[in-house]
Structure 1
Amino acid sequence: MPVTSIVKDPEALSLTVHAEFPVKVARLWDAYLDARQLEKFWGPAEYPATFTRHDAAAGGRSNYHMTSPEGEEFHGYWEWNEVVEHKFFEVTDGFAHPDGTPNTDLPVNRMVFSFDPTPEGTKLTITAAFDSAEDMEQVVAMGMIDGTRSAMSQIEQVLIDLRNYSQTFATEAELVSDTQVRVVRLVRGTRQQVWDAHHDAALVKRWQYGPDGWSMTKCDLASGIGESYLLWWAPEDGGQGFGFSGKILERVEGHYESSTEQLEGGEEILGSGVPGSVNQQTFTGTTGGTLVTTLITYRDKAARDAMLATGMADGMEASYARLESIL
């Protein structure tokens, strides 16, 4: 078993988990920063987790929910306070309502995840600090200790099964819910390089120019929250073009951006059923490069399926392959 001890300290108002894993720090670190891997072991085995946002940077946020065997969802969040790569990260951990807003009726704690190299691999120490003895006893009564043991018991198999997981570079589209799709691509490049490639018009036009025979003729990017953008593509033979427009809803510089997206023209090319959406894009630095995660939320299941039918993932893969050739 990975867990070597769980220490409850009533005087310090803390719970500390000690665990050891036969992998290097970087491998275990990546498992926590990649939402696809983290949700395979975050929480008890009987309550699988789904992360709809995982912005692993100071000032960022993670939103997730656990689903019971009966289908009931229990929501939580992390607010990222500090990150020192391959050393530790600190988050504020709390319960949430289904819309992601904090549930202030339940306790909040501060969690520090520390990663220390050992001759055999990595020692992981997780310390949860509470504001009061009542808060600590409440989460213990809710099953935190047993849940932690169950969660830790899953990591070892995840690390074995996914030993090369972080080196998978192909674009993957995953169904998260009836209205959401998560698109993930690991891009060979630093986080700053990949962020800049999405926010520098000259660079965007070099790798998002569409299929062969097309070019991006307009690239008006938004520079801040509330500002609008417009991207437009046209065939080189002079035929009808199309574009996407939207507005920036939220931005954590260098790490996260949320925006609306709406098709402009192009119904004859992509189909009249292509819906608008809200896109949340996260940039996470890992050992293999930068993990670009885009959570796309549509108005309903039919709208989600209409967009998937356009070959969206294949088009994104072609663009990211071009981006890598530039970087």
Structure 2
Amino acid sequence: MTAHQNGTISAEVSDFLLNCFVRSPSWQLWLSLPLSLLLLLAMGANTTLLITIRLEASLHEPMYYLLSIISLLDLVVCLTVIPKVLAIFWFDLKSISFFACFLQMYIMNCFLSMESGTFMIMAYDRYVAICHPLRYPSIITDQFVAKAVIFILARNGLLTVPIPILSSQLHYCRGNVIENCICANMSVSRISCNDITINRLYQFACGWTLLGSDLILIFFSYTFILRAVLRLKAQGAVAKALSTCGSHFILILFFSTILLVFVLTLVAKKKVSPDVPVLLNVLHHVVPAALNPIVYGVRTQEIKQGIQRLLKKGW
């Protein structure tokens, strides 16, 4: 970045500075330990789950393939965000290159929406399993999972590309300090000199198109599931049917609750510290990643048994 004689800063931005929790500096100290523990937990739990599903032949089924995709997405998102946040906390390494910033922005937007899409496919999987059990083997096949994954990759990969491109084309003449721990689209765009209406509108439209449509379809799937479950007459059938959906439903709650709280704090930003949305944004990239594999590991007998068998073999 170069400065002119009149004191203005030119648009030759080569890097940004991530200004983390400047209003609440003590947060960095007490956040660093739980964040590092959550990162280690996310890495260990997701890696264990992926290895178990890969090596256990009994887990080579569509539902577990979808769970593997969730674990992979969680690992990538976590590693894209949390190590940099910890580097800022521990070593004050606030600088991030222009390219790395927009790459991080793309991965966050793309992979989180891919996770939402995978949850939607998992909800359909549970809907077919409970509402059309006899047709399940012919509908939810390996080919179905492959096509669903290609659709999610194409849809989210292409629709989120304009987000970092629009931000990277802006004229950054107000400095290079981002008031955030991560390269969130609006936090970065806000320090430019341009009108960012298009950036805001595209982010909003993209969010509603991807996350909104997925959540609506998930809601409808569970509405049909609940209706079908309540019609079951056999003793214990309701509990058994609901238990097959329980883990998946908890994962969706982890994913959507923090997101919902984050949106609400942004709406009520005048009443809360500006650091609260930043904190929630960071937590949203690590809390679900750490808890998702544990929920499935604890609640799914097949995975639990698979992990136990692998531990006995010593991997």
TM-score when scaled to structure 1?
A: 0.25
TM-score normalized by structure 2? Answer: 0.26
More helix by share: 2
More strand by share: 1
